Structure 1
Amino acid sequence: MTTPSGSDARPAHSDPIPAHARSTTMRTDDRVSAGQPPAAGLKANAIGLPGALMQSVTTMSPAITVAFTVPFLAGTAGVASPLVVLLAAVVSYLLGYSLAQLTRHITSAGTYHSFVSRLLGPRWGFLAAWAYLLFYPVATAMLCGLFGSTTHRVLLSEYGWDVPWWAPMMLLLVAVAALAYRGVELAVGVTVALGVFEILVMVALSVWGLLQPGDGGTSLNWLTGSGAPTGNGFFLGFVFSIYTYTGWDAAASLGEETANPRRNIPKAVLGSIVILGVFVVLTTWGQLAGWGTRDIQGFVDSEQLPVFVLAHKYWGPLWFLALLALLNSIVGGAIACMNASARFMYGMARSGALPGPLARLSRHQTPVAAIGVQTVINVVVGLAMIGTVGLYNVYSFTGLMFTFALAVVYVMGSVAVWRMYRTMARHEFNWVKHAVVPFLGSAALILVAYESLDPLPESPFVWALPVVVVWMVGGLVLLLVRRRGLDDEPPEAARPGATEAPVR
């Protein structure tokens, strides 16, 4: 950190950033305000707080949660499902709070890779990035496949049209890639509109369910935790519910393109968790009440998505509003995940962790090479997932897989918070904010994941953790192979085009 005159304001031992790195940590928008020519990079100040907030909200895909998560939860946690998602929201907030503390001082498209590399070292940063690569790139493919399967099912059941599932999947892939290439303003603008619409529709349907409930009525008994079939089922639902909130960190990937990121990104991260927490608890409760809490098994076994059954029941011919909300959620989530994954790859390439050409930008200041690679990944991984776990198991299987993979990243992020506020921001250290909260979030995540595996879930969900373990072993092998190169890499802040914000 430097004073306005440029002199060092703290003793050297309190700031681990080398002098050569500190000189290049000014953000692009800081250079513009100083009257200097902007450096080549992502487009600064492209979006504000609403755009960053909705980037996280739409990545968490609210309507998808209502349509696909609640049936899975009902099969594991029963009528206690609303309590499960409430507790998962609390754990997610603790984890998000740690990320917010990091983004108060560092903004980077590389998000956790940049944070962990900067604070714990490049080797740990590489492992965090490797685990992260099992989420956003795969999530985009999963959502596009989900769009194809949902469109296929609805057109066949409602109209008798047998449209192959892969056709709408490929159509969405092309549309998402085009929006991502065109620019973050347009892509985020679309996600904001889609996100608001889906939230309004699903909240309305849930309120209808609470006001006109099925057999069992509307009750707050779920607050006691009663109704869960087994303790293992409760924890398995808990783990899957954490996946429901996964995506709150997506706003951090737009830190270099957000106005006043050190204020707006923490607000976007935490605000998105609060918004979705209220939404998920309400819609889970409303959907189960509307169906009838005395027929949970019928809810789980329904051939048609329960959300469509309820929409038919309450809205008649206007049921298609629920369909539009669900498809909007999938499209919005795919766009948001593409934005996040492309920028994550861009940030890693810029730091040297991925091949340099992936850091190439288009004339719209978007990471065009990363978008192209991500699109290829979407096609290959999307088809492979559907071929291995089945068309209708992709969402639930990847949900568990993502949670186990991201647990590694979130724990590293919690340790990085401690490191940051005991070194480079030592004057701000607070035991509750920077020690207790990160520890509680990580401990709760590890405990819940452990309990969910005793006993092991049924196939294909039992394979979610082994896939993550094999992936991480591959990352360790790759780390050993390129260890010398990582040791030689300078910090990202020291590289041309770096946009980490300096500590103030």
Structure 2
Amino acid sequence: MSEVLEGAPVGESAEQDTTLKKNAIGLSEVLFQSITAMAPAAAVCFAMTSAYGLSGASTPLAVFLATIACAFIASCIGQLAIHIPSAGGMYTYISRSLGAKFGFLSAWVFLLAQPLLLPYVALIWGQYAEDLVKLLTGVDISWVIWTIIGCIILFALTFYGIKLSADASVILGAIEILVLLTLALTMIFASGGHNNLATFTPAFSPTGWSGIFQGMIFAFLAFVGFEAAAPLGEETSHPRRNIPLAVIFSAIGIGLFYVLASYASVIGWGIPAISGYANDATPWADLGKKFWGMLGPIIISFVIINSSIGNGNAGINATSRVAYAMGRVGALPASFARLSSHRTPSFAILLHTVVSAIITIGCGLLFGISGASNLIGTALTLGLLLLYFASCISTFVYYLRKRREDFRIVQHVIVPLVPLVILCFVFASQVYPIPAYPQNLSLPILAVWILLGIGYMFYLMRTNKEALARGSEIFLEEEGSEPAELAEAPA
């Protein structure tokens, strides 16, 4: 029951090869799938900017709390990935743990939240590419053009094989981390006596803890993507070991990087003047100029574009594999399970790329770059936080019901509970006080999408009930004992 489907999707010949390429990538590639899906440089320089307006110079505290929560969430996802490696990722995990209906709705939310990462980062690379080219050449090429060019590049990277795409992730991810880490350390050491660890308390938050929790939504936005390794479970060697390690190591490692970078930016900018940080369109470019001279903004702009492209590359991989898994079992049309000659989900990749370009350009023109970024970023973050919430619950339920012999109080009760409590406060902060327009549209958009998913689920229950049930049955290999090194891993 628990083997990957070797047959074809509904309506296709059983002889047709519809399986992804097994053992195509290893730990380093799948680790950087998660790392680049988080877009560390773009997250630090762009995504977290709005947090400074809410948490002030205490933003490092908001980032630190988000790091703790995400590390625990990653541990929960990793615990599920040990036994259920699948292209469906959390779709399969939650189906297997909480039932087919919850699993389907989780996949439905994923198909709103994860694909929105590409429009979000397209707004970033489009804006920075326009500004950089204009600075270097004097030629003003609209961000719309750069959005289209970037999407074409990403289509090629993801269509022509997972190995090409994964290798690109390793290179792009290494570049952005090295450059930003160097600048962060430069700011900390250059600031000398101005370093202040009180930034890790609510002391500098304009509205105390309320500001911390509001700022955390943008801190979580920076983490979105650490789970992106999970849908590559069928293409990774030793997936029951490598997928959990990739998810956990990326969340913890990049989380610590975020803490360091947020602290460095507060100190480098100056605590008394931090209110101006959130209102600056390119704060890290200005920090680069302050500490590295005229070359600083150019280097930072290149790194942000690099980071955004890396994020889009990883995001397309994750989204297309989940859509493939759903198409394979009949929860989506069979065309989503169609593979190219390079063993990649061709229709899902093409659709994702085209729709993302349309959303990017449409929202950017309608709301402006900043407004569109806040709306798209909040919507996708809230959607993925719901999935993280469900993953924590799934870990407890799965091990209690199906892996009782491996059930551990710390790993399967306490670790899931901590992020659940934190996430409740973060969600509450999005309800009151109500965010500014157009960010306040994010919750209604998510609610409407979920209602549409419930309607589609009832349609499937009447027309193809087996498709829902199969969502919990398709994963790579028979469940067995936990790998020893993971079973003994700390929470």
Same fold (TM over 0.5): yes
Q: CA offset at residue 439 of structure 1?
A: 2.6
Task: Write the distance in 2 (CA, Å) between the matches of 1:271 and 1:480.
Answer: 38
Q: 1:501 aligns with which of 443, 459, 477?
A: 477
Is the CA contact (8 Å cut-off) linking 1:123 and 1:486 kept in structure 2?
no
Is the CA contact (8 Å cut-off) linking 2:194 and 2:267 kept in structure 1?
yes
Q: Work out the percentage of aligned pairs sharing the same amino acid.
A: 32
Alignment of 1:375-394 (within 5 A): 375-394=353-372
Task: Write the distance in 2 (CA, Å) between the matches of 1:40 and 1:300.
Answer: 48
Q: CA offset at residue 57 of structure 1?
A: 0.6
Task: Write the distance in 2 (CA, Å) between the matches of 1:209 and 1:300.
Answer: 18
Q: 1:222 aligns with which of 187, 199, 205?
A: 199
AA aligned to 1:226 is A
Give the 3 Å change call, closer, same or farther, for CA 26–483 of structure 1 in structure 2.
closer
Q: CA offset at residue 95 of structure 1?
A: 1.2
Q: 2:283 aligns with which of 306, 329, 342?
A: 306
2:341 counterpart SS class:
coil
Alignment of 1:61-210 (within 5 A): 61-156=39-134, 160-210=138-188
Rg larger for? 1
Matched with 2:216 is 238
Q: 1:370 aligns with which of 348, 351, 368?
A: 348
Q: CA offset at residue 157 of structure 1?
A: 5.5
Q: CA offset at residue 192 of structure 1?
A: 0.7
Residues 281-328 of structure 1 deviation map (CA, whole Å, 9 limit, x = unaligned) = 1111111211211111222223x5111112122222422221211111
Task: Write the distance in 1 (CA, Å) between the matches of 2:211 and 2:272.
Answer: 18
AA aligned to 1:282 is L
Give the 3 Å change call, closer, same or farther, for CA 330–277 of structure 1 in structure 2.
same
Task: Write the distance in 1 (CA, Å) between the matches of 2:199 and 2:98.
Answer: 42
Matched with 2:459 is 481
Q: CA offset at residue 426 of structure 1?
A: 2.1
Structure 2 residue 402 is matched with structure 1 residue 453: no
Bigger drift between 124-133 and 453-462 goes to 453-462
Alignment of 1:405-484 (within 5 A): 405-484=383-462
Task: Write the distance in 2 (CA, Å) between the matches of 1:150 and 1:141.
Answer: 14
Task: Write the distance in 2 (CA, Å) between the matches of 1:158 and 1:74.
Answer: 30
Bigger drift between 386-395 and 152-161 goes to 152-161
AA aligned to 1:310 is L
Bigger drift between 376-385 and 130-139 goes to 376-385
Q: 1:276 aligns with which of 251, 254, 275?
A: 254
Q: Which runs of 4+ in 1 moved over 6 A?
A: none
Q: CA offset at residue 38 of structure 1?
A: 12
Alignment of 1:396-411 (within 5 A): 396-411=374-389
Is the CA contact (8 Å cut-off) linking 1:236 and 1:453 kept in structure 2?
no
Matched with 1:14 is none
Task: Write the distance in 1 (CA, Å) between the matches of 2:45 and 2:151.
Answer: 22
Aligned residues between the structures = 471
Bigger drift between 348-357 and 401-410 goes to 401-410
Q: CA offset at residue 164 of structure 1?
A: 1.0
Is the CA contact (8 Å cut-off) linking 1:26 and 1:501 kept in structure 2?
no
Q: CA offset at residue 433 of structure 1?
A: 1.5
Task: Write the distance in 2 (CA, Å) between the matches of 1:502 and 1:441.
Answer: 30
Task: Write the distance in 2 (CA, Å) between the matches of 1:159 and 1:385.
Answer: 28
TM-score, normalised with respect to structure 2: 0.91
Q: CA offset at residue 424 of structure 1?
A: 2.6
Q: CA offset at residue 160 of structure 1?
A: 3.9
Is the CA contact (8 Å cut-off) linking 1:55 and 1:251 kept in structure 2?
yes
Is the CA contact (8 Å cut-off) linking 2:47 and 2:221 kept in structure 1?
no
Matched with 1:4 is none
Task: Write the distance in 1 (CA, Å) between the matches of 2:264 and 2:366.
Answer: 34
Is the CA contact (8 Å cut-off) linking 2:48 and 2:222 kept in structure 1?
no
2:203 counterpart SS class:
coil
AA aligned to 1:481 is Y
Structure 2 residue 339 is matched with structure 1 residue 339: no
2:140 counterpart SS class:
coil
Structure 1: stretches of 5+ with no match in the other structure: 1-20, 29-36
Task: Write the distance in 2 (CA, Å) between the matches of 1:164 and 1:38.
Answer: 44
1:104 counterpart SS class:
helix
Q: CA offset at residue 392 of structure 1?
A: 2.3
Structure 2 residue 62 is matched with structure 1 residue 54: no
1:503 counterpart SS class:
coil
Give the 3 Å change call, closer, same or farther, for CA 359–144 of structure 1 in structure 2.
same
Is the CA contact (8 Å cut-off) linking 1:118 and 1:492 kept in structure 2?
no
Matched with 1:32 is none
Residues 126-168 of structure 1 deviation map (CA, whole Å, 9 limit, x = unaligned) = 1111111112212112222321122223344565432111111
Give the 3 Å change call, closer, same or farther, for CA 335–353 of structure 1 in structure 2.
same
Root-mean-square deviation (CA), in Å? Answer: 2.3
Task: Write the distance in 1 (CA, Å) between the matches of 2:182 and 2:135.
Answer: 24
Q: CA offset at residue 382 of structure 1?
A: 1.7
Q: 2:306 aligns with which of 310, 321, 328?
A: 328
Is the CA contact (8 Å cut-off) linking 1:53 and 1:269 kept in structure 2?
yes
Matched with 1:41 is 19
Residues 23-58 of structure 1 deviation map (CA, whole Å, 9 limit, x = unaligned) = x45999xxxxxxxx9975111111111111110011
AA aligned to 1:502 is E
